[in-house]
Structure 1
Amino acid sequence: MAQEILILGLNPAWQRLFFLDKFTPGEVHRISKVEEYASGKGINCGRVLQLLGGSALLMHFLGDQNGSHIFDELSACGVQQAPVWIKEPTRICTTIVSAGESTELIEPSPVLTESENDDFLQNLNDYWDSTQRVALCGTFPKGFDVNKINSLDFTGKKIFVDAVEDIDAWLAKGVELLKINMQEYCKLCERMGIPLVMSSPQFWKMSATAVLERLPIKNLVVTDEESPVRAFRLLEGKFQGVQIQPPTVQVKNSVGAGDSFFAGWLYADTQGMSFEDSLVLATAVAAARCETDRPWNLKLERVSELQASLAEAVEKLE
């Protein structure tokens, strides 16, 4: 049986979430509530996708006690995993949430050995041929041999990318979706030598067209916090751009909003949804996620409400 989506979330974290009424750097704080759970871009994406009704296999590097905690928690909630066990411990991410804003403290990622890279490739080969959709989420751990995945055959695959570092070879092979934030988009344009003339009213059309003409990306999406989400593609060689303003919601924790957006677009693809409808659903999923405490949680009825309200909010970019 073919696996619907293979998620490569190679740099997971054990999350510690501190809730404060007010956070002031340099002061002593008494924390009102602490939560701990499995997190990281791949985990967040996989769990939101599962809530939406999607089916995925999550491949990630796990190490020591933190890695065991992650494996056990995801197994208990029914997430399918293909872990690669490593010697160094999985990193801890500490997030301070105060008044709807989040401050993240992220430990360095583990450093992989040559044998651990070999184990990863062997695991990946076990699933690669039977998978149509592959989603790459986030950064690679230190010491990761990116050439091992760059050498894979992408024929017949839909590749979805939520990353910007060390992905040039993947982008050059052709991807279904590249989802990045504004800061990452600027990095990509600078790396490609594309001028960033943001004062121009044609900035988005000029820069996105240049990216799409140079790289075989079918759909390019750029998120920018509370600013409009923008999506671009070349349809029969002609530029098509749309944007949608995220709805105003009561934010409890914004961490993982981008991961949820990515999961929403992945699910939309499995349902055969259009370009515009995929943008609407993904935006609704991301907004609903922000209304809950944990970065992989949401209420499906709220997604439906937001999706309906956003259906007529898509604007064309000329």
Structure 2
Amino acid sequence: MSQEILILGLNPAWQRLFFLDKFTPGEVHRIGKIEEYASGKGINCGLVLHLLGGTPLLMHFLGSEHGPKIFDEISAYGIQQAPVWIKEPTRICTTIVSEGNSTELIEPSPILSEIENDDFLQTINDYWSSTQRVALCGTFPQGFNIEQLNALDFAGKKIYVDAIEGIDSWLEKGVELLKINIKEYCKLLSRLGIPQVMSSPQFWKMTATAVLERLPIKALVVTDEDAPVRAFRLVEKKFQGVQLLPPTVQVNNRIGAGDSFFAGWLYADTMGLDFEQCLIKATAVASARCEVERPCNIKVERVAELEAAIVDAVEKLE
């Protein structure tokens, strides 16, 4: 079976990264350093997966001005792409990095036309039948016809999701992994009508069990920056939960840490690693990402060092 992963990162961005010694809202700042590069959840995931040794096929909508630059940059890394070219410009994400903190300013996504939706369907049909693994990353552009995506035949495919909006049909079909952050998890609980008593010591077990009993999700992972990463599953209808506190690292830039975690889990899963090993690998990758300015700067050797440091730190949740 092919280990190639079709990454649907349908809402990419052109990243502008401003580095400041100190950022104070309302004041004039002179920027000491600027970087610009291709970004967005799908691109970040694909880049990191490629660095780890995986084989991503990145599908995304690319618009005028920055679209060609994104395509050329990703091609230069040796990553295969299936672009859908659109009329409106790709959005720009401006990030201010100061003292280890990041402030993001994200433009509205482009609005797709009916013809561009038809182009998407034709393009994805060229790859869908030969793809066994599909990863959905992030939001959809405005005007995206999600119904035509939901109507595809999911039989025999392993589906991984790092998103919260427009994913209900995917979750109902069954996914290998749903990776979301704590805010997105609370939003999911609200949608499912599951009570959120976060002060309860049984909060995680009760809510995760309820989600897993309602939806055919094999692994549910919730991230929360420096707090423990928590992963849940049902094995023979019995709850299993584990948590892992990320290692302490010198934070350079957190943007894309969740995308890097997702890439780490995807890679670990394709390598046949077990549930806890996937969590360890993914956490190490996300931590390594925080240490560097850009996802493409992650060093595989550093990931291995962090894995070794946290391999015995996994805790079971009762």
Normalising by the residue count of structure 1, what TM-score does the alignment of the two structures yield? 0.99
2:120 is aligned to 120
The one-letter code of the counterpart of 2:206 is M
Q: Matches of 2:297 and 2:178 in 1, distance apart?
A: 23
What is the deviation of 1:3?
6.2
Give, in whole Å, the separation in 1 of the partners of 2:310 and 2:2: 34
1:61-85, CA deviations, whole angstroms, 9 ceiling, x for partnerless residues? Answer: 0010110110011111111100000
Q: In 2, are the aligned partners of 1:260 and 1:296 still within 8 Å (CA)?
A: no
Shift of 1:2: 4.4
Aligned to 2:200: 200
**1:295 Cα deviation (Å)?**
3.4
**Matched-pair contact (CA < 8 Å) for 1:59–1:83:** yes
- Runs of 5+ consecutive residues of structure 2 not aligned to the other structure: none
Matches within 5 A, 1:9-24: 9-24=9-24
Corresponding residue number in structure 1 for 2:48: 48
Match for residue 235 of structure 2?
235
Q: Show the 5 A alignment for 1:1-318.
A: 2=2, 4-318=4-318
- 3-state SS of 2:132 partner: strand
1:297, 1:44 → 2: CA distance? 11
Amino acid at match of 1:272: G
CA RMSD between the two structures: 0.9
1:116-143 CA-to-partner distances (Å, cap 9, x unmatched) read 0010011101101111100000000000
- Conserved in 2, the CA contact under 8 Å of 1:257 and 1:286? yes
Asked if the contact 1:44/1:260 (under 8 Å) is kept, the reply is yes
Q: How far off its partner does 1:229 sit? A: 0.1
Partner amino acid for 2:203?
F
AA at the equivalent of 2:159: I
Cα shift readout 1:176-226 (whole Å, capped 9, x = no counterpart): 000000000000000000000111110000000000000000000000011
Contact 2:47 2:295 in 1 (8 A): no
Question: Is the contact made by 2:3 and 2:270 (CA closer than 8 Å) also made in structure 1?
Answer: no
Cα shift readout 1:126-165 (whole Å, capped 9, x = no counterpart): 1011111000000000000100111111111000000000
Residues matched between the structures, number: 318
- Judge conservation of contact 1:253–1:290 (CA < 8 Å) in 2: yes
Give the aligned residue type for 2:260: S
Percent sequence identity is 77
d(CA) in 1 for partners of 2:227 and 2:56?
A: 30
Which 5+ residue runs of structure 1 have no aligned equivalent? none
Q: Flag as ranges the 4+ runs of structure 1 deviating above 4 A.
A: none
